[in-house]
Structure 1
Amino acid sequence: MSDALVIALSLTVVVLVIGTLTPLRRRWRLLGAGWAAVAVGIIIVAATEPRWILIPLALASTLGLLTGVIRSRADAAQRGRSSLVSAAATLAGITAVGGAALAAVAVWALPTPNLPRPTGDFAVGTSILQWDSGLPEPGTADPADSRVLVAQLWYPAPEGGSARRYLPDSIVPDALANQAGLPEFLLDGVRFGRTNSVADAAMADGDHPLVLFSPGLGGVRTQNSAWAEDLASHGFIVAAVDHPYDSAAVVLDDGTIIRSSLRTTGDDALDQQIADELAESRADDLIAALDQLQQHIATPRVVAAGHSIGGAAAIIAATNDDRFDAVISIDGLPRGGQPRVPILAIVAGGGTGSIESDARYDAALTEVLARCGTRRVAPGAQHLSFTDAALFLPPLPSLIGEGGRTAGIEFARTETLSFLADTLRTGDDRCGP
C-alpha cells in the first residue's frame, strides 16, 4: 500500500469535512468530486494492500459524507440553526476528522517497510534453500529427530526481473507480533513490504565471498534484509539461517510451521545458561550451513556474522571452524569463543538500559576483541536500529534509535563493507597466537 496515498486520503477527508461549512450552492460541486476521489482511493488501497488502517479511514469517509448530508439538508430546509441538527453534524464531523487522523498517524507509526535501495553496482537475487542438516534437533524430545535448516540467500545478479515482497504471507509477521506481545493486525503492513531482490535470479559470474548470518533471539532470517541486499549489491553472497524452535516461525517446504519455543524462566542465571546453549546450537547451524553451501558454491572467503545472540553464535562458529576468515557481530554479547580471525563488533551507542548489563557487555567485548578486533559504536543507536524492524516499528528513539529509520542500517552497512574490504583484501586474516 502506498502509505503516502493513505495520508493523502486522510488529509482529503479532513478538508472535505471542513468543506461542509461552505455555502450550500457550491458545496456539493466541491464535495461530490472530493468524496468520489476518496472512495476511489480507498478501493485502490483495499484491492492492493488491505490493512486494518483502512477501517478508520473508511469510517472517517462515511461520517464525513454524513456530515455533508446533514448540513446540506438542514441548510436547504433553512434549519441550519437547529441545535440538534448542528450537534449531530458537528459530532459526525469531529469523529470523521478523528478517524482520518488515526489512519494517518497509524501509517506513519507502522508503515509498510520499503527496503533502502542497495548502493552497489550489482542487481540482487534471492533464493530460499532447505535441507536436513544431520544435526540432532535439540528443540524436541525425540533423540532421533534431525534438524532441518532453512536459509535465504542474497547474491549479486544480472539486471532484470521483478522484486519480491518482503514477507508475502502473514505467518512470520503474526509470529513476530505475538513474540513482541502485540496484536497481530498491527504488523499487517510487513507482508506488503518491498525489497530490491529478484526471486531465484541467476547469480552473476565471478567468485563471491560468502557471509553466513544468524539473526537475533527469536529473530528470523529476513530480519536484516536491507543489510544483506546491500552486501549482495557489492558482490557478496549472504546466507541467513532460520533456527528451528528459536526463530519466531520457520516455514518448511511442505507447509509445516515450526514456532519458537523460547520462554524466559525468571531466573537470570538459568536464562543466561539457556542463551549460552542456544548460541552453541546456532554456531553448529552456521557450520552446517557452510558445509551445505560449499557443495554448491565455490567461494574464496567466508565470514560468520550475526545480530545479538546471532553475533555470539558467529564468534563461536569461527572459533570452532577455521574455514571462517572473519567475524561480524552486530550488537551481540559474546558468549564464549576466541577466534583467530579479525572481528568487527558493531555496538548500539544507546546501551542496554542497564549499567550492570552495559558493564558486562563491555568487558566481554574487550576480551574477545583483544586479539585483533575492531569496535564501532553507533551514536544514539538501539538494539533494533540495525535491523529491518526500524523500518516498520514506531519511530521512537528508545525503540529504533536516533537519526531516523535508516540510520542504524546505514551505519551497519558502511562499517561492514569497510571492514570486509580491509580484511578480505589483505589475504592475511589470521590473528595472533
Structure 2
Amino acid sequence: MAHGQAGGIDRRTVAKSAVAAAALLLAGGGGGGIAQARTADGITLRLPAPTGPHRIGVTTLYLVDRSRRDPWDERIPVREVMATVFYPARTAVGDRPAAPQMTAGAAEVFRQIDVLIHHLPPTGVNWAATRTHAQPGAPAQPVRRPVLLYSPGGGDPRTLGTSVAEELASHGHVVVTVDHPGDASEVEFPGRTPYRRKRIRETVFRGDPRTDPQLFRTAIGTRIADIRFVLDRLESLAAGRNPDALGRALPTDLGRALDLRRTGVYGHSAGGTAVAEAMYEDRRLGAAVNLEGYLDQPPRHPGEPGDLFPVARHGTDRPLLLLGTEGFAHRRELDPSWSAALTHSRGRARRAQLDGAAHWVFTDYAAMAPQLQTAGLMTAGARRDLVGALDPSVSVPAVRDAVRLFFARHLRA
C-alpha cells in the first residue's frame, strides 16, 4: 500500500496499523457503508473516531499580527489568523456536546464554494451537522506535550484537517490547525471590525494558484509568515499570557500543556509546501510532514523548471517526510522538487507513497467521500478523483499513523 521508508515507517507498519484500527474507524462513522442520519436538511456525515487513550478538548484562538498588513485585501491594516487547538483533556465539562466540525456560518459558505471546487453534491448534505470528538473548553491535562501545527491545502479551510488533528491529540499531542484568511475558502471570525465588516471572509482564489506564479509566491510566503506568527503566540501562551486578540477565556492549564521544545509542522498541498519551507527558515520547528505539496515555484514560462524553494535547493538538517499518493494527477510535476530535497538532505528527508489513494485522502474527505458515494450523492469516479478507491477503513488509519509515528519518533523528549 505504501512504498518507501518514511522516518522509520514502512509498508508493513502502515498496513498492520490500518487493519488493527479498522473496527474503531467504522464504529466512529468513517466507513463508506455506515448508515447515515437523514433529516430535511440532508444527511449528516461523520468523522472517524480517534483511537488514542486521551479524551480531547478544543478551543479557538483569534490572533492578530499588527506588524503585517493583509496581503489579499488592502483595506485590512493587520493580519488576522484563526486557529483551532486540539489537546489532551483532563476532564469533561458536564454533558457539553462535542464541538461541530464547522460553525453554521462557515458551513453555509462551504456549501456554496467548496462544492464547486471539489465537485461535491450541491444539495443533500447538512454540512453544519457534523460533529468532532472534542469538547469545547475542557480543562487541559497539565502535562507538557509535543506541539504540532497544521496548514491546510490551498483554498481549503482548517476544518478539513479535523480527523488527523483529533487522532494526534488523542495520542498525546497538542495540535494547532491554522487558517490562512483570503486563501482559505471560508474563515469565520468571532466578530466584525471597522476594516472587516463581515464575520466570514471568503477566498480570493478563482482557480489553481499554481497557474499564477506571483499569486503562488504570495500565498506560500503568507502561509509561512502565518505559521511563524502562530508559533510566536504559542510561546506567549506557554509563558502564561492569553494570546487571543479579544482576551477570550482559554481552557484551564492550556498553556501548561505546551512543550515548545518539541514542535513539528505538517501540511497538505500548499500547506505541505509552506510547512517544509517554514521548518527550513525557523529553527524552532524540529520536524515536518509535507503531504503532497510542491517544493518549487511555478515556472515563469511553460516548459521551464520552476525555482526550487531553499528547503529543496539546499536540503534540510531536520527530519522531513514527503508523503504522496499514487493517484495524484501532477506527480510528474511534483517529482523534480521532491527529488532535489531528497538528494540535498543527506538522509534527513524520506519519501513514501499511499497506493490506491488520491490527493485529498489526507483530509476529512477520506472519510466523507465514501459516505457521499454510499448515499448516492457522489459517483464512484468523483470519489476516486478526490480521495482514491482505497476503503476508508484502510486509508484513514494509514494517513493518521504515518503522521503520528513520524512525529513520535522525531519529537521525543
Question: Per-residue CA shift, 1:6-50, capped at 9, x if unaligned?
Answer: x989xxxxxxxxxxxxxxxxxxxxxxxxxxxxxxxxxx965xxx4
For 1:82, the equivalent position in structure 2 comes to: none
Asked whether 1:139 is paired with 2:72, we answer yes
Kindly report which structure 2 residues correspond to 1:129-278, keeping only aligned pairs within 5 A, or say none: 129-134=61-66, 135-142=68-75, 145-161=77-93, 162-175=97-110, 177-181=112-116, 185-186=122-123, 188-254=125-191, 256-264=199-207, 271-278=212-219
- How far 1:341 sits from its partner (Å)? 1.2
| Match of residue 337, structure 2, among 361, 364, 369 | 364
TM-score (norm 1): 0.68
- How far 1:398 sits from its partner (Å)? 2.5
One-letter amino acid matched to 1:175: F
Contact 1:177 1:187 in 2 (8 A): no
Q: Which whole-Å CA distance do the structure 1 matches of 2:151 and 2:120 have between them?
A: 26
Question: Per-residue CA shift, 1:312-368, capped at 9, x if unaligned?
Answer: 01011111111100011112112313142110111111121xxxx322211111212
Q: Which stretch of the first structure deviates more once superposed, 315-324 or 167-176? A: 167-176
| Match of residue 318, structure 1, among 268, 272, 279 | 279
Contact 1:172 1:248 in 2 (8 A): no
One-letter amino acid matched to 2:132: T
For 1:373, the equivalent position in structure 2 comes to: 349
> 3-state SS of the aligned residue for 2:273?
helix
For 1:334, the equivalent position in structure 2 comes to: 295
Asked whether 1:390 is paired with 2:323, we answer no
- How far 1:174 sits from its partner (Å)? 3.0
Q: Which whole-Å CA distance do the structure 1 matches of 2:226 and 2:411 have between them?
A: 23
For 1:349, the equivalent position in structure 2 comes to: 326
Structure 1 unaligned blocks of 5 or more: 10-43, 54-110, 428-433
One-letter amino acid matched to 2:235: Q
Q: Which stretch of the first structure deviates more once superposed, 198-207 or 400-409? A: 400-409
For 1:412, the equivalent position in structure 2 comes to: 399
Structure richer in helix, relative to its length: 1
Kindly report which structure 2 residues correspond to 1:76-115, keeping only aligned pairs within 5 A, or say none: 111-115=43-47
- How far 1:275 sits from its partner (Å)? 1.6
> 3-state SS of the aligned residue for 1:211?
strand
Question: Per-residue CA shift, 1:278-320, capped at 9, x if unaligned?
Answer: 1111010000000001111342311121110001010111111
For 1:285, the equivalent position in structure 2 comes to: 226
Q: 1:346 to 1:8 in 2, by over 3 A?
A: closer
Q: 1:219 to 1:173 in 2, by over 3 A?
A: farther
Which structure has the bigger radius of gyration?
Answer: 1
Q: Sequence identity of aligned pairs in percent? A: 26
- How far 1:184 sits from its partner (Å)? 7.9
Question: Per-residue CA shift, 1:198-223, capped at 9, x if unaligned?
Answer: 01111112111111111101111111
> 3-state SS of the aligned residue for 1:333?
coil
One-letter amino acid matched to 1:312: T
Q: 1:170 to 1:136 in 2, by over 3 A?
A: closer
TM-score (norm 2): 0.72
Contact 1:3 1:112 in 2 (8 A): no
Q: Which stretch of the first structure deviates more once superposed, 326-335 or 400-409? A: 400-409
Q: 1:133 to 1:369 in 2, by over 3 A?
A: farther
Q: Which whole-Å CA distance do the structure 2 matches of 1:184 and 1:259 have between them?
A: 20
Does 1 or 2 have the higher relative contact order (CA < 8 Å, sep 6+)? Answer: 2
- How far 1:173 sits from its partner (Å)? 4.7
Structure 2 unaligned blocks of 5 or more: 1-28, 193-198, 239-257, 297-308, 374-382
Q: Which whole-Å CA distance do the structure 1 matches of 2:182 and 2:121 have between them?
A: 20
One-letter amino acid matched to 2:340: E
Q: Which whole-Å CA distance do the structure 2 matches of 1:402 and 1:8 have between them?
A: 20
- How far 1:402 sits from its partner (Å)? 2.0
Contact 1:120 1:233 in 2 (8 A): yes
Q: CA RMSD in A?
A: 2.7
Q: Which whole-Å CA distance do the structure 2 matches of 1:172 and 1:320 have between them?
A: 35
Q: Which whole-Å CA distance do the structure 2 matches of 1:238 and 1:317 have between them?
A: 17
- How far 1:381 sits from its partner (Å)? 0.8
Q: Which whole-Å CA distance do the structure 2 matches of 1:180 and 1:272 have between them?
A: 26
Question: Per-residue CA shift, 1:127-162, capped at 9, x if unaligned?
Answer: 0000211222101124x7111111001111124243
